[in-house]
């Protein structure tokens, strides 16, 4: 896995918006989800979606592209455990 993680402007904005709603997300937490996910799914355009438990009711999902030289974070969003931890 590449060591460099680059954040899109959209993902940085999403982190800022989530923090403004008192949802404790940071670049460090996003990097932890990518490096130590509970689960990885494949999404639109074959992008990877790393997921990790965030609190009692939510998971944090990170959509990213893994390239040979770096990981590119596309977006970040919280989701309900009941929706994403079915299996």
Q: Which contacts (CB < 8 Å, 24+ apart) does range 21-30 have? A: 23/78, 25/60, 25/76, 25/78, 29/60, 30/5, 30/60, 30/62, 30/73, 30/76
pLDDT tens digits, 3-22: 799 999 999 999 999 999 99
Closest CA to 31 of 56, 1, 55: 1
CA-CA distances (angstroms) from residue 84 to 1, 4, 5, 27, 43?
Answer: 24, 27, 24, 22, 13
Phi, psi of 28 (to 5 degrees): -65, -40
**The CATH fold of domain 5-84:** YaeB-like fold (3.30.2310)
The pTM score is: 0.91
Task: Please check the confidence at residue 82 and state whether its pLDDT lies above 90.
Answer: no
What is the tens place of the pLDDT at every residue in 21-51? 999 899 999 999 999 999 999 999 999 999 9
Domain edges within the chain: 5-84
């Amino acid at each position: 896995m590449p060591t460099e993680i680059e954040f899109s402007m959209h993902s940085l904005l999403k982190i800022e918006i989530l923090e403004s709603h008192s949802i404790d997300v940071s670049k460090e937490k996003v990097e932890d989800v990518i490096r130590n996910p509970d689960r990885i799914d494949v999404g639109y355009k074959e992008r990877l979606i790393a997921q990790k438990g965030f609190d009692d009711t939510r998971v944090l999902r990170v959509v990213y592209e893994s390239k040979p030289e770096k990981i590119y974070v596309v977006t970040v969003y919280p989701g309900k455990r009941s929706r994403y931890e079915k299996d």
